[in-house]
């Protein structure tokens, strides 16, 4: 389901790009604004692609930290699953259901289309920019997560084959556990909204909700702890990459405060960096 939504979004944007590209461009028309935003979106995608393929020491270090953190938590996967299942009845409820749906790609996809439409209709550039960058972040993070899922083919917890069972290059949903797509989506949305709202209390609420999404996936026996950690890291860093793309293109550095989620066995918290 998630991969089909991503494919639809990519195809829709590509077709829209081709259609608008064939139109005569007139200043301040909807067509020209739409064309400009699509071009900016493609520029962001190309920039991130170059960052990934260039494999700078900084990008390799970030990737190593993300993957290393996930691998380091694998020994705790089974223990965390046992704890979550033991507490399942006590934790079931509306709050966890909401947290789980927060990571469902369908809702952000529709939400960003509506948000962009609002910005386009009312000529609000900041709203359009937010929708464009969030959509780009979802596409990039979702693409990375989807590819890793299929290539690695890790069995989901409910299959009861253990956390070390991998069947590379598969499309079987029961073996698309690593990393967690819901966690990826949730942390993209929280990171994007955090950049726009820019309030400490919003960061706590947003990242708390995204962390709840990660736990909900463990609670529902759909993912291992290490799946959710890698998914969260991909979503968070993809959004930061995209929202800082203009700054980084100019060789600037982001010196703003950042709140980084921490998910460990029996521990949920945040690390503030300056």
The secondary element (H helix, E strand) that includes residue 232 is: helix 225-243
Residue-wise pLDDT tens digits, 6-54: 555 555 555 445 544 544 444 456 667 777 878 777 777 777 777 666 6
CA distance 163 to 70: 12
Report phi then psi at 263, rounded to 5: -125, 115
pTM higher than 0.75, yes or no? Answer: yes
CA distance 141 to 137: 6
Residue-wise pLDDT tens digits, 182-234: 999 999 999 999 999 999 999 999 999 999 999 999 999 999 999 999 999 99
- Tokens 């995209």: give the residue: 242
Give me the domains of the chain, ranges plus CATH numbers. 2-273 (1.20.144)
Q: Is 18 within 8 Å of 11 (Cβ atoms)?
A: no
Q: In sequence order, what are the residues at sequence separation of 6 or more whose Cβ sits closer than 8 angstroms to the Cβ of residue 6?
A: 105, 138, 139, 142, 143, 146
């Amino acid at each position: 389901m998630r991969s089909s939504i991503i494919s639809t979004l990519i195809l829709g944007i590509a077709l829209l790009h081709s259609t608008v590209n064939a139109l005569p461009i007139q200043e301040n028309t909807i067509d020209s604004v739409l064309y400009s935003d699509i071009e900016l979106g493609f520029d962001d995608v190309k920039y991130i692609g170059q960052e990934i393929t260039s494999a700078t020491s900084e990008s390799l270090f970030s990737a190593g930290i993300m993957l290393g953190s996930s691998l380091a938590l694998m020994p705790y996967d089974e223990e965390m699953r046992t704890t979550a299942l033991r507490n399942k009845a006590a934790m079931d409820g509306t709050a966890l259901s909401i947290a789980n749906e927060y990571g469902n790609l369908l809702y952000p996809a529709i939400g960003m289309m509506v948000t962009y439409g609002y910005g386009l209709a009312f000529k609000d550039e900041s709203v359009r920019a937010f929708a464009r960058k969030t959509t780009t972040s979802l596409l990039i993070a979702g693409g990375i997560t989807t590819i890793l899922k299929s290539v690695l083919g890790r069995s989901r917890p409910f299959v009861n084959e253990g956390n070390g069972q991998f069947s590379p290059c598969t499309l079987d949903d029961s073996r698309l556990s690593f990393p967690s797509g819901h966690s990826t989506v949730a942390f993209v949305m929280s990171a994007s909204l955090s950049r726009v709202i820019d309030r400490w209390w919003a960061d706590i609420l947003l990242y708390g909700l995204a962390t709840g999404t990660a736990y909900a996936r463990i609670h529902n026996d759909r993912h291992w702890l290490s799946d959710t950690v890698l998914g969260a890291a991909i979503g968070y860093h993809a959004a930061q990459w995209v929202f800082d793309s203009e700054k980084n293109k100019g060789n600037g550095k982001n010196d703003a405060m950042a709140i980084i989620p921490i998910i460990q066995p029996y521990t949920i918290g945040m690390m503030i960096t300056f």
